[in-house]
Amino acid sequence: MAALRLLLLLLTAGGASGGPQPDCSYLGLLKHLQLDSASHHLTVTRPVQNWTRPTYVWVDMLLYSILQVDEKVQTVTSHIWRYMTWTGEFLSWNSTEFCGIPYVIVPASSVWIPDVSILEDVSDTGSTYRSPVVKLYSNGFMSTYSRQRLTTTCHLKLRLFPFDTQRCNITFLSMSSGEDAVHMGAFNNGSALTKFSEQVMVTQGEWQLRKMEIVHDRLRTGETPLSEVVYMVTVVRKPMLYVINLIVPLFALLLLDVASFFIHEARGEKLSFKVTVLLSISVLLLILKDMLPSTEDQLPMIANYCVAIFGFVGFSVLEAILVSHLIDLDGYFGRKAQRSAQKQKQQEAGGPKEAAAGEEKAQVKPDQSLLPLNPSSSRDLLQQILEAVTSLRKEADRRIREQGDGSYRRVAEIIDTVFFSLYFIGIVVFLSYMYSVWIYYVFQ
């Protein structure tokens, strides 16, 4: 404002020396337009000679960046520049009379500005910068711009996440004037604005602007409908991060689970391995839960994918438990049979005391060797423990292999084979279905 006043002052000083020549100063023009003093009549109302004539307002929007898309809250934050042009009937001049001045810049507070707002806007106040000046053209056109960190609501369709394409509306309209008073439009067409936006776009994050379409529409409210111009912005997600972060690890975990069928049954590691895989998948599920909204009616396909893999691995854990239980049963019955056979033998030979005493000795021996704590003997101790563990292991393996009549074991093996075949077929069918649907939608 101060700068403008200074400018006007300088211009006046220059113009004062002139005699009868035409007034080439901006101030002369402003005097002609009655904009030189604090004249409120131009600011208070819509500049038309006849009230039935509508004012045309053109809003051109450029998308400078897509800052954030919040799937959980369903909002899109972007940075936009908005150029607004409208017609005023009182403020026009013949530029030849004023030394060919094509336009003049005046303070925004001195003219009427249409109250255009954005329907989907949920930004905090203070995120908008409005230009303090308005450019006035000789034919009565006025234009101004504003830039804004805009947060809009947008119904995000996440079924195909992370291969999704989102379409969000940004609707400009004048809430206070019906379409008979303010007519909304856009100067440029959608493809030109898309091209401009692509040129000036600074950052898009994980999104890529595909196109902006402009639709003129009317919003029906109580009395007269409101004229509106809708920018339909289409953005595509760059899915690579999610592929690397979610889809590939899940697939790898599923593969690990399939591979775990080849771990030997007799070792308890199989079950704990499978449970670890299950836990890893549940961690990935937690990550997913933080990303996707719970409001979604249609579950995103990635959630189906995660849950299905979780289910597959969960089932295979249950199966591993069943199989190991059957093998335990086999061992149990086998041991029972052997014990009764031993008893018979002992009754024939002498008594069970000798064997029991031998076992006691074996149990007590390590306790005694724990007492000395000097390093040289601790190596011996470790050696002893190692030997003891190895012999125990051998013993256990031998027992499992030898004991039992093997009927439960055979059942377990059959269950394992059948389950593995079904599991493998299930996984192949599921994965091919999943990827074909995804790929179909991505490339359609």
Ligand X SMILES: *[C@@H]1O[C@H](CO)[C@@H](O)[C@H](O)[C@H]1NC(C)=O
Of 80 and 106, which CB lies nearer to ligand X in the complex structure? 80
Q: What span, in angstroms and rounded, lies between the C-alpha atoms of 91 and 113? A: 13
Q: What span, in angstroms and rounded, lies between the C-alpha atoms of 145 and 123? A: 18
Q: Is the Cβ–Cβ distance between 289 and 246 less than 8 Å?
A: no
Which residue from 192, 201, 83 is spatially nearest to 147, judged by alpha carbons? 83
Which residue from 148, 12, 175, 149 is spatially nearest to 83, judged by alpha carbons? 148
Shortest distance in whole angstroms from residue 228 CB to ligand X: 7
Residue number of the CB atom closest to ligand X: 169
Of 169 and 227, which CB lies nearer to ligand X in the complex structure? 169
Rule CB under 6 A: is residue 174 a binding residue for ligand X? Answer: no
Shortest distance in whole angstroms from residue 208 CB to ligand X: 19
Which residue stretches of 34-93 are H helix?
41-44
Of 36 and 217, which CB lies nearer to ligand X in the complex structure? 217
Name residue, tokens 């997600």.
Answer: 237
Q: Is the Cβ–Cβ distance between 57 and 184 less than 8 Å?
A: yes
- Residues 171, 173, 178, 180: is their CA dihedral positive or negative? negative
Query: Which two structure tokens, joined as six digits, stand for 368?
Result: 């005694």
Of 183 and 270, which CB lies nearer to ligand X in the complex structure? 183
Burial class (CB in 10 A: 0-12, 13-18, 19+), 346: middle
Shortest distance in whole angstroms from residue 212 CB to ligand X: 12
Of 166 and 204, which CB lies nearer to ligand X in the complex structure? 166
CA distances from 191 to 196, 211, 227, 380 (A): 9, 7, 22, 82
Identified binder of ligand X from the candidate list 71, 213, 217, 296, rule CB under 6 A: 217
Tell me the number of residues near ligand X by CB under 6 A: 6
Shortest distance in whole angstroms from residue 190 CB to ligand X: 13
Subset of 106-165 contacting ligand X (CB under 6 A):
155
Shortest distance in whole angstroms from residue 142 CB to ligand X: 27
Consecutive H or E run containing 183: strand 182-185
Of 193 and 253, which CB lies nearer to ligand X in the complex structure? 193
Q: What are the contacts of 313-317 at 24+ separation with CB within 8 A?
A: 313/253, 313/254, 313/257, 313/274, 313/277, 313/278, 313/281, 314/278, 315/423, 316/257, 316/260, 316/261, 316/274, 316/419, 316/423, 317/271, 317/274, 317/275, 317/278
Of 198 and 217, which CB lies nearer to ligand X in the complex structure? 217
The residues, ordered by sequence, that sit 6+ positions from 350 with a Cβ below 8 Å of its Cβ are none
Burial class (CB in 10 A: 0-12, 13-18, 19+), 118: buried
Shortest distance in whole angstroms from residue 189 CB to ligand X: 16
Shortest distance in whole angstroms from residue 304 CB to ligand X: 24
Of 206 and 217, which CB lies nearer to ligand X in the complex structure? 217
Subset of 221-280 contacting ligand X (CB under 6 A):
230, 232
Shortest distance in whole angstroms from residue 425 CB to ligand X: 41
Which residue from 183, 270, 286, 263 is spatially nearest to 228, judged by alpha carbons? 183
Identified binder of ligand X from the candidate list 6, 7, 10, 215, rule CB under 6 A: 215
Of 168 and 181, which CB lies nearer to ligand X in the complex structure? 168
Distance of CA 388 to the CA centre of its chain: 56
Of 232 and 263, which CB lies nearer to ligand X in the complex structure? 232
Shortest distance in whole angstroms from residue 136 CB to ligand X: 32
Identified binder of ligand X from the candidate list 75, 110, 169, 204, rule CB under 6 A: 169
Shortest distance in whole angstroms from residue 67 CB to ligand X: 20
Q: What span, in angstroms and rounded, lies between the C-alpha atoms of 269 and 259? A: 13
DSSP code, position 406: S
Shortest distance in whole angstroms from residue 114 CB to ligand X: 20
Helices (H), strands (E): how many in the chain? 11, 11
Q: What span, in angstroms and rounded, lies between the C-alpha atoms of 394 and 408? A: 22
Of 210 and 399, which CB lies nearer to ligand X in the complex structure? 210
Residues in touch with ligand X (CB under 6 A)? 155, 169, 215, 217, 230, 232
